[in-house]
Structure 1
Amino acid sequence: MTQALSSIAQERGISYFLISFTDLFGVQRSKLVPAQSIDTMSANGAGFAGFAAWLDMTPADPDILAIPDSNSLFQLPWQPDVAWMPADLYGVDGNPIAQTPRLVLKKVLAQAEEQGYQVCTGVECEYFLLNADGSDLSDGRDRQSKPCYDQQALMRRYDVIREICDGMLTLGWGPYQNDHEDANGQFEMNWTFDTALVTADRQAFFKYMVKSIAEKHGLRATFMPKPFQHLTGNGCHMHLSVWDRDRATNLFLEAEGELGLSSMAYHFIGGVLKSGTALCAFTNPTINSYRRINAPVTTSGATWSPNTLSYSGNNRTHTIRIPEAGRFELRLADGSANPYLLPAAVIAAGLDGLEHKQDPGPRRDNNAYTDPLPAGTVEALPNSLFEALARLENNPILPERMGQDFVASYLKLQRQAWNDFSRQITSWELETTLDC
């Protein structure tokens, strides 16, 4: 029998619960519920006006109900009298809201489970620490052209990094390393992989935790893909493997296979590459995302982001890297990727690859930055969100597996964002064309 949340609250000293959902643009929406009311809210859901979030709804639509998942409860390490729970959205009629990112992921994972698969993922979340108003980096001494792994810059932010890592330790995530990344003021923190839904919930909470602890220290954290033109952008590299139903056997692992991967793993990779340009609508979902991929060289000497749909061994210049036996790393996604839609889209593409035994083509071992392949050898990545959305619209695979209604809503809202961006008159335009 599941323990009542009010009882858990009493045992752990929890006074309030954040019932939270993530909308289509990755914005977290919440209601703060006192512990004495949490059992009712847990059973019946917290009411929201759907139009108030990015869900493709109107003011005339009925309320939506956020049903929290009590199996994914995170007591805030920096404020332990509050607990956070991700929620799934339903209509007052009891039907699921198709445009709920967490439900889209569950839908795709159910397809994997029907075939006897359990998908595991891990993410590497990069972020910048800025000053309080977000106008510049928080550390004026962090100026090296190659600052990656810089010990001094890392330890100058020890208080922030330690508090975040201590939080993950308290939550039992198994964090195992923290480092200063390739850009000045940029950091990455890694924790142990798990099933895709568990990782997605943790990623959503991680972004909230990092921002909150940074604010506590008088700083601002951002996962924006490319906040500085001359610096490496924020990636969100995802590692993926497929296991059997009981998670006893890694089906991607084959000792005699090329680079330790099974034929099944290569079919999955083939599916990801086949839908790769359409995937960009989810892996790189903002206007700013396309400042990071296909970008010119940064001050460090490399962008560390891909520019072609290709896979390789332990080579970080391609979209997919195979760092060791039994898994692959997708290097395409950035920090703005929705924690639920990112794995949902990649898994949907991979499952199609499994179903059709998709051939990924030959492995590419060139340095894609300095030794590009001849034109037409591999497919290029989209140059803009507009192009990625067009590729998604013409892709039959992702809508079928993620949901036609969901994809239609996603395309509609993203095109509205693109049109809003396109109406802006930038300072660059004024500077270069005002005297025409």
Structure 2
Amino acid sequence: MSKDLALIAKERGIRYFMISFTDLFGAQRAKLVPASAISEMQKDGAGFAGFATWLDMTPAHPDMFAMPDAAAVVQLPWRKEVAWVPADLVMEEKAVAQGPRTILKTVVAKAAQQGLRVKTGVEAEFFLIEADGAGISDLKDNASKPCYDQQALMRRYDVIAEICDYMQELGWHPYQNDHEDANGQFEMNWTFDDALVTADRHSFFKFMVRSVAEKHGLRATFMPKPFPGLTGSGCHVHVSVWDEAGSSNKFHSDDDEMGLSPQGYNFLGGIMKHAEGIAAITNPTVNSYKRINAPRTVSGATWSPNSVTWTGNNRTHMVRVPGKGRFELRLPDGAANPYLLQAAIIAVGLEGISSKADPGKRLDIDMYALGHTVQNAPKLPLNLLDALRAFDQDKELKAALGNEFSEAYLRLKHQEWNSYAAHFTQWERDVTLDI
């Protein structure tokens, strides 16, 4: 039974609700609705023009309505009179097939039909930069190996602690915060949960981090590679699959060297099989490929993959198995859409289980030093265009995510690539002006 948002408003002293949805490019869209009108919005939805967002629609499309999910409402810890509530998109009383949250709910339901409950956690990395975006905000944060830098972390204590306090207040069970491998870069971790819960929290986390940074006169960016020579921002995803009750880890096996069950290997096989195609989702921007195909950084390592390989507890591969019953996908970056990210992983994992996909040979080498010696390991796409082509060629992946979504996503992303390709750069002038 759906919760009554008007009652929630009365009980918690909420004056306004932000009815929010995430479009295909990961942009968050919202309407601010007074509590006095929330009952009507909960019944009929908040109206939007789909064309005005990054959805594959025209100005001639009918009204699109965002139906708030009251079970997922979040009261803003820093502005308690406002509540954020994620929404599902509806048009003419039908779910919008290209709506990212709808896509995730659809693949979660497919998993449930097989008695499977996917649980995930994300490691969301971000930079704290100057308000105008010009550079790193902390000029003292200049070490060549800044990862876990104690002094730099404490100079940003006010921002990081405030965000962590809010996560504790919201019941997310945060457990560690650190300065990451690039100057000005941070990571904050909270406990894993059901994939939809994680996606909603990931979406809200990005909004919260940006809001708190602005409050402190800074700017937070999840851009994959904002600075050349520095490590980019990943969004590693930890994945495990449980029984319907969520009490038994179906990936776990005490009889296997890696602690993975046959079903766990098949799910992993699906990831490996479709890696080149899902890159268009997990690494969705032109800038994404500056991260996964980067030369060595100032710190000495990119901490990102460029080949489709897996291993044990070794961070130089696309997938690592850090412990029994789970694995970590290290491919995604900070630009990934929180909902499409989860949906793509689950979709290819389920396909892997269905087809009994083999993940291939485990490699226990340092890929950064010896990757060139590996034979037959597919390379990840070199750029967004290659990723879109790989996605378009992956018929199983497109069908699993829905053909309507897939065509819409490809159309808009090709437009983005064409816009980039038509852009004249300073590099072109520097290299070819005198030819």
8 Å CA contact 1:257, 1:263 repeated in 2: no
2:313 maps to 314
Which residue identity is paired with 1:196?
A
| Number of aligned residues | 435
Aligned residue runs from structure 1 range 32-431, under 5 A: 32-91=32-91, 93-374=92-373, 376-431=375-430
Q: CA deviation at 1:2?
A: 4.3
- Percent identity of equivalent pairs: 59
8 Å CA contact 2:2, 2:71 repeated in 1: no
User: In 1, distance between residues paired with 2:86 and 2:256?
Assistant: 39
2:27 maps to 27
- My pick for the range that moved more, 374-383 or 408-417, is 374-383
8 Å CA contact 2:2, 2:70 repeated in 1: no
User: In 2, distance between residues paired with 1:394 and 1:401?
Assistant: 13
3-state SS, counterpart of residue 385 of structure 2: helix
User: In 2, distance between residues paired with 1:3 and 1:372?
Assistant: 53
1:14 maps to 14
- My pick for the range that moved more, 11-20 or 367-376, is 367-376
User: In 2, distance between residues paired with 1:186 and 1:329?
Assistant: 21
Structure 1: gaps spanning 5 or more residues: none
User: In 2, distance between residues paired with 1:424 and 1:2?
Assistant: 48
User: In 1, distance between residues paired with 2:63 and 2:266?
Assistant: 42
Q: Deviations over 1:342-396 (max 9, x none)?
A: 1101111110110011111110111110111536421111000000000011101
User: In 1, distance between residues paired with 2:403 and 2:2?
Assistant: 35
User: In 2, distance between residues paired with 1:262 and 1:229?
Assistant: 41
3-state SS, counterpart of residue 111 of structure 1: helix
User: In 2, distance between residues paired with 1:205 and 1:2?
Assistant: 21
Q: Deviations over 1:253-274 (max 9, x none)?
A: 1111121111111111111100
Which residue identity is paired with 2:111?
A
- My pick for the range that moved more, 283-292 or 7-16, is 7-16
The alignment's C-alpha RMSD in Å is 0.8
Which residue identity is paired with 1:362?
K
Q: Does 1:4 align with 2:4?
A: yes
3-state SS, counterpart of residue 322 of structure 1: strand
- Residue 400 to residue 2, structure 1, CA distance change in 2 (3 Å): closer
Which residue identity is paired with 1:391?
A
User: In 1, distance between residues paired with 2:307 and 2:257?
Assistant: 22
Which residue identity is paired with 1:197?
L
User: In 2, distance between residues paired with 1:48 and 1:175?
Assistant: 34
User: In 1, distance between residues paired with 2:413 and 2:186?
Assistant: 29
Q: CA deviation at 1:294?
A: 1.7
- My pick for the range that moved more, 314-323 or 2-11, is 2-11
Which residue identity is paired with 1:147?
P
- My pick for the range that moved more, 60-69 or 371-380, is 371-380
Structure 2: gaps spanning 5 or more residues: none
Q: CA deviation at 1:132?
A: 1.0
4+ long deviations beyond 3 Å: 373-376
TM-score by length of 1: 0.99
8 Å CA contact 2:230, 2:298 repeated in 1: yes
3-state SS, counterpart of residue 111 of structure 2: helix
Q: CA deviation at 1:398?
A: 1.2
Q: Deviations over 1:39-92 (max 9, x none)?
A: 11011000000100011000011010000100001110111110000000000x
Which residue identity is paired with 1:17?
F
Which residue identity is paired with 2:332?
A
User: In 2, distance between residues paired with 1:260 and 1:2?
Assistant: 39
Q: CA deviation at 1:307?
A: 1.1
Which residue identity is paired with 1:322?
V
TM-score by length of 2: 0.99
